[in-house]
Amino acid sequence: MKPKLDFINAKLNKLKNDSLFRKLEDTIVNKQFIHVKNKKLLNLSSNDYLGLNIRNLYFKQFQSSSRSVTGNDKKFLELEKKISKHKSQENTIVYPTGYMANLGAITAIIEKHDTIFSDELNHASIIEACRLSSAKIKIFKHNDMNDLESKIKKTKGKKFIVTEGVFSMDGDLSKIKEITEISSKYNGITILDDAHGDFVFGKDGKGTASQFGVSKKIDLYISSLSKGLGSFGGYVSSQKNIIELCINRSKSFIYTSALPSTIIEFTLKRFNSNREQNRKKLWANIKLFHKGLQELGYETNSVSQIIPIIIGDEKTTIQFGKYLFKNGIFAQPIRYPTVKKNSARIRFSVTAWHSKKDINKTLAILEKCTKKFKTV
């Protein structure tokens, strides 16, 4: 346990003393019954009001309740154990989405008198979570370590630094190594939302912190299961008492229904599949696409599977997108307020589903587009 995080135990002890501490039980819900600790009980806590008995091969019973009431299927624990191992953390908690993981974790551990340092390009769910925490928020310029340090050195009290691993609109990486150094120097707590880096970067897809050898310096990981893993859900992985606090204080965990077991089973299947083989293919595609764009004359900060072509004005970007569409390529035009005004872009994401032929076809159409719209 890290001494700087001792305050978490104090919060948990307060909950225990006030009889407000929650512990999760294994549950299996079946029609009007629930099985808890090998006991079959009549379930009077389900929200499955109509009890429509529609089943098929794929969809089993949904939890129809939050995890802290009757929705804690054993499969969650199996998945959480696997994620903890994947992130080399003590424990993990799965949320219904990555968005909710950000909301839940940040509001569970950060309070009014604390200060958050947040990269200006952080995802909306981080921004929203920071606001909800009521803490003081200091935005630092994107990946600008001088700006971060100048802000953090003037700050007293608990300091939390929040960054993404791979920035979702630019495809560049955070300076996570430098961030952890600054964080250590000023006794900060580092939160990494690696939604787009998880399962893609680092050894065995362990994420961007692993890529830069600073996994152990991250105090709290947040991620999505709907991106690299292509399933659904989000998670927080950290030391044991942080996860306990999340279970006890995250409104986006307590007051919402648990993910259906089918999704967890599907996630486990994907987790256990031969991810390395697909990761290799993905990286071959990423390299091919980057090289092709470079040859067309595009410059990009991206070093990942998210590769934007920054066009600038919104109108041309939309026309560019339409032209791609007409030619069989779906790539999303991104505009304000998702990105700053006059930095509109076409955002490509390369996957392992694509063949070499798909990438080359895209590049050939892009060549035509580039000439037509004179974008380089």
Residue type, 134: S
- Radius of gyration, alpha carbons of the chain: 22
- Measured from the CB atom, the residue of 97 and 143 that comes closer to ligand PLP is 97
Q: Which among 33-41, 84-92, 93-101, 273-281 is the span making contact with ligand PLP, rule CB under 6 A? A: 93-101
Residue 312 pairs with which residues in a beta bridge?
344
Q: Is 193 in the site for ligand PLP (CB under 6 A)?
A: yes
| Closer by beta carbon to ligand PLP, 306 or else 309 | 306
Amino acid, res. 151: K
Minimum Å distance from CB 365 to ligand PLP? Answer: 26
Q: Kindly tell me which residue out of 129, 195, 247, 310 binds ligand PLP, with binding defined by CB under 6 A.
A: 195
Smallest gap from Cβ 122 to ligand PLP, in A, equals: 7
Check the CA dihedral 176-100-253-199 and report its sign: negative
* Residue 129 backbone phi and psi in degrees, to 5: -65, -40
Residue with tokens 């996630």: 267
Which listed residue (66, 91, 97, 211) binds ligand PLP by CB under 6 A? 97
Strand (E) or helix (H) holding 235:
strand 234-238
Question: 295 phi and psi, to 5 degrees?
Answer: -65, -30
99 versus 212: smaller Cβ distance to ligand PLP? 99
Binding of residue 98 to ligand PLP (CB under 6 A): yes
Q: Judged by CB, which is closer to ligand PLP: 41, or 339?
A: 339
Least Å distance, CB 196 to ligand PLP, is 6
Told to check if 125 binds ligand PLP by CB under 6 A, we report: yes
46 phi, psi to nearest 5 deg: -85, 150
**CA atoms of 186 and 36, how far apart (whole Å):** 46
Distance CA 270, CA 279 (A): 13
Distance in angstroms (rounded) separating the CA atoms of residues 241 and 258: 21
Q: Taking CB positions, which residue lies at the least distance from ligand PLP?
A: 98
| Terminal CA-CA length for the chain | 52
Q: Which of residues 67, 75, 87, 123 is near ligand PLP by CB under 6 A?
A: 123
Only one of the segments 94-102, 103-111, 256-264, 355-363 lies at the binding site for ligand PLP (rule: CB under 6 A); that segment is 94-102
Stretch that binds ligand PLP, among 5-13, 188-196, 312-320, 364-372 (CB under 6 A): 188-196
239 binds ligand PLP (CB under 6 A): no
Residue 118, strand partner residues: 139, 162
Residue 164 engages ligand PLP in binding (rule: CB under 6 A): yes
Residue that has been written with the tokens 């939050």 in this structure: 66
Total binding residues toward ligand PLP, as defined by CB under 6 A: 14
Q: How many CA atoms lie within 13 A of 21 on its CB side?
A: 15
If the CB atoms of residues 172 and 193 are measured against ligand PLP, the closer one turns out to be 193
Residues lying near ligand PLP in the complex (CB under 6 A): 97-99, 102, 123, 125, 164, 168, 193, 195-196, 224, 226, 234
